[in-house]
Chain A
Amino acid sequence: MFRGQRGWFCGSVGQDLRRFWVAEGGTISDSRAADFLFSCDASHPDTLRIYQSLDYIEDNATVFHACYLSTVANAEIKSSVALGHFILPPACLQNEIRRRIGSFIWEQDQHFLIEKHGEV
């Protein structure tokens, strides 16, 4: 599923998700070279560095919640999980966003995400 893709992992991401990434063909790289940026905690210093980078300011770096990987791992059709549902915005914006849209998709029941794609 992730063959040839380079992933960067914040210190907040557990080993099992990194192992899954590698098992699916992904490699682990530094944040500048990575195709994918994964984090579980927007206020972790590793992730804060991304939010303060020029790449981020110039719209070249979107951080995704690493529960994307666990959702993929649990999905029947791995490619059916929409990456776009797992944007992880900076921690200082999250409360404001929550007030307007309710909970983030990655905060919701993950079975709902899988079933939803099954129905389409």
Chain B
Amino acid sequence: ATDNCTKITKYRCSGCIAVGKPLNSRNFSKLLHSCPYQCDHHKVIVDAEDRYKSELRRSLICNKKILLTPRRRQLSKES
């Protein structure tokens, strides 16, 4: 029980308390990012997810380049 008590005090950032507007899957991530006092719990999750997202973004860009390159080559042959 004591372990839970220490955890309770840590869970106190805007990700922990619903403030003002109702939260949902669409606005939650932005709310957390805009919170200057992320609790340990949310900070760790946000950091991990952000890293995952930037990796995904990078791989998306790579895929696009691979798709675009042959098309560009074709165009230059035609012209």
Contacts and interface: CB of A to CB of B under 8 A. Distances in A.
Given A82-B17, A84-B15, A89-B49, A97 B44 contact: yes
Nearest to B57: A57
B48 A57 contact: no
A101 B52 contact: no
Q: How large is the interface on B (under 10, 10 to 19, 20 to 34, 35 or more residues)?
A: 20 to 34
Contact of B4 (A34, A56, A96, A112): A112
- Output the residue of A35, A87, A92 with the most chain B CB within 10 A: A87
Interface in A56-82: 56-57, 59-64, 82
Contacts of A105: 11, 41
B28 to A, nearest CB: 4
Given A84-B15, A97-B48, A101-B40, A60 B29 contact: yes
Interface of B, secondary structure class, is helix
Pairs A-B, 9 closest by C-beta atoms: A59-B29, A84-B15, A62-B28, A37-B25, A35-B24, A93-B48, A62-B25, A100-B44, A62-B29
19 contacts: A35-B26, A37-B25, A51-B52, A52-B56, A57-B57, A60-B29, A62-B28, A82-B17, A84-B18, A84-B23, A87-B28, A87-B42, A89-B48, A89-B52, A93-B49, A97-B48, A100-B44, A101-B40, A101-B45
Interface of A: 5, 34-37, 51-52, 56-57, 59-64, 82-85, 87, 89-90, 92-93, 96-97, 100-101, 105, 108, 112, 116
